[in-house]
A and B are shown apart, each in its own frame.
Chain A
Amino acid sequence: MSESLKAILDSLHAFGTGLVGDMWWTLIWTLIKIMILLAPVLFMVTYITLAERKIIGFMQVRYGPNRVGFWGILQPLADAAKLLFKELLIPEKVDKSVFLLAPALTLVPALVAWAVIPFAPGIVLADINIGILFILAISSMGVYGIIMAGWGSNNRFSFLGGLRSAAQMVSYEVSMGFTLIPVVMLAGSLNLTDVVNAQKGVWFVVPLLPLFVIYFVSVVAETNRSPFDLPEAEAELVAGFITEYSAMASGLFFMGEYANMILVSFMGSILFLGGWLPPVGFLDFIPGIIWLGIKASLLLFVFLWIRATFPRYRYDQLMRLGWKVFLPISLLWIFVIGLGMHLLGKA
């Protein structure tokens, strides 16, 4: 952080403390920081939808949206306006409180988890000791929105979608969690800033390449993205748990899905690809936040690429992959890494 910026911040703190007192200023300042964090996240969520349609369009040799604004650049805003002004239908026999709570419970965890993501040295909202566990804990809450939507809608298709998704997310959380253990072992810390700093010599993707692949496939499954989007398999389940939702309520589900996608891409870059560190030393004149953005964008591109390329998995194949392939490999790799660290005398 540059000196002038620091001076401006200091005078701002002094002004605020003098105006409303210490306690309130801390509260207000935290709220301001949360807004500064969430505004770009929501912006990314808005524009990843355009990126998705453009990229899939490109891969399928068509234009994608190109009517609203130059190059379709205003399309997400048009979509958002449409969703906001549509009528929210609440079917007669739904469990109203559960039905209305579910979309919020999907979106909120996806946004809360951003609190511990470090964008550059020192630029993090909450630099807590258990960053990785915090993200695991928060992302494990995401399943409730979907399961509640499925049950609250009082619709067979929704219910089946909700159940599928619950089983899928719980299973893949296990394999995702196991891929994070070697990262923690190598970094010697659960703090995400420490994890990035531990990758100064060599990125963790080098010793942990199989785990990086497993991590990526697991998060694709965990975010219910194609080819693992069985909870909303339209050929079998109409739209799965979203079937009964309309207007912004269904929009919130999609926002949650995209926010999660972006979050796990940032997580993957931080845990395996060196976070804000440049790939080679002499490139460190470029700010770290840009490197992190580039890495996360690459992972996001792979998300979209996969969606345009692969057909949907069958449910039993999905479960077999998670429990019988990924879990043993990651367990074995934990053992290998532990043995390696012991032999090299690093533990």
Chain B
Amino acid sequence: MVTDLLFYLFSAITVMAAVGVVTSRNQVHSVLFLILAFFNTAALFILLQAELLAALLVIVYMGAVAVLFLFVVMMLDVSFEELRKGMIQHLPLGVFVGAVILAELVVILSGIHAPHAPAAAATIPNAQLIGQVMFTQYLLPFEVASFILLVALIGAVVLTHRRRKVVKRQIISEQLARTREQSVALVKVASGQGAQQ
């Protein structure tokens, strides 16, 4: 009874937040609505007794991904008039993409067999159960996923560290290796002429 009420509360907020994401004019508000949707989805996971998934959703999506989203979006300088100009032109494409995603969702969701009971027996902690299958049954996909993440990580580091002419950066070793001879010259200045090389 209480669980049902909570379910309707959280799902209603999730849906409203999701609508807010696509309808708000200010893109920062969109991201904030997205964060609200994440949080309520995590609450729904808790109602399903999948507390590990809920915690991970909050830590990964709210704690890291959405913060970076917000970071980027806040620093973007987008004029909304420009954005709205192409609305009619892009409408068919948008509708098409939306329809494809909707169709996929319907296919996937109809494949799930109802009824879905709470995920696990409450006696064994969620984290333990997931760990057990992740490191035995699904070891290979798990390792492949982490490998892909590692590659992405290295890619990000390489992209940041490539040398570009337009970016000025501090190289501490070069600064420290500077000697007096390289940086200071003693010049005798004739009166009324100023210092010349």
Residues of A within 8 A of B (CB): 23, 95, 98, 128-130, 133-134, 136-138, 140-141, 143-144, 147-148, 151, 159, 163, 166-167, 170, 173, 189-191, 316
Contacts and interface: CB of A to CB of B under 8 A. Distances in A.
A166 B127 CA distance: 29
Contact of B63 (A140, A167, A189, A316): A140
Interface stretch (B52-60, B79-87, B102-110, B181-189): B52-60
Question: 9 closest A-B pairs (Cβ-Cβ)?
Answer: A140-B63, A137-B58, A133-B55, A129-B125, A137-B55, A137-B59, A130-B55, A130-B51, A151-B74
Most buried by B among A23, A129, A147, A191: A129
A133 B59 contact: yes
Nearest to A320: B172
Contacts, number: 75
Contact of A173 (B51, B58, B63, B68): B63
B13 interface: no
Interface residues of B, number: 29
B11 interface: no
Contact of A129 (B56, B64, B127, B170): B127
Given A130-B51, A133-B55, A141-B58, A170 B127 contact: no
Contact of A133 (B28, B52, B74): B52
A129 B51 contact: yes
A130 B52 contact: yes
Contact of B67 (A134, A138, A166): A166
Nearest to A138: B58
Given A98-B32, A163-B74, A189-B125, 10 more contacts: A23-B2, A95-B28, A129-B51, A130-B55, A133-B52, A138-B58, A144-B62, A147-B74, A148-B32, A170-B68
Nearest to B26: A95
B72 to A, nearest CB: 11
B35 interface: yes
A136 B59 contact: yes
Contacts of B75: 163
Contacts of A98: 28-29, 32
11 contacts: A98-B32, A129-B51, A130-B52, A133-B59, A134-B55, A137-B54, A137-B58, A141-B58, A151-B74, A167-B71, A170-B64
B167 interface: no
Contacts of B56: 133
Contact of B125 (A140, A151, A190): A190
Contacts of B158: none
A284 to B, nearest CB: 29
A12 B176 CA distance: 72
Most buried by A among B52, B68, B125: B125
B70 interface: yes
Contacts of B68: 170
Contacts of B39: 141
A230 to B, nearest CB: 16
A141 B66 CA distance: 10
Nearest to B64: A170
Contacts of A151: 28, 74
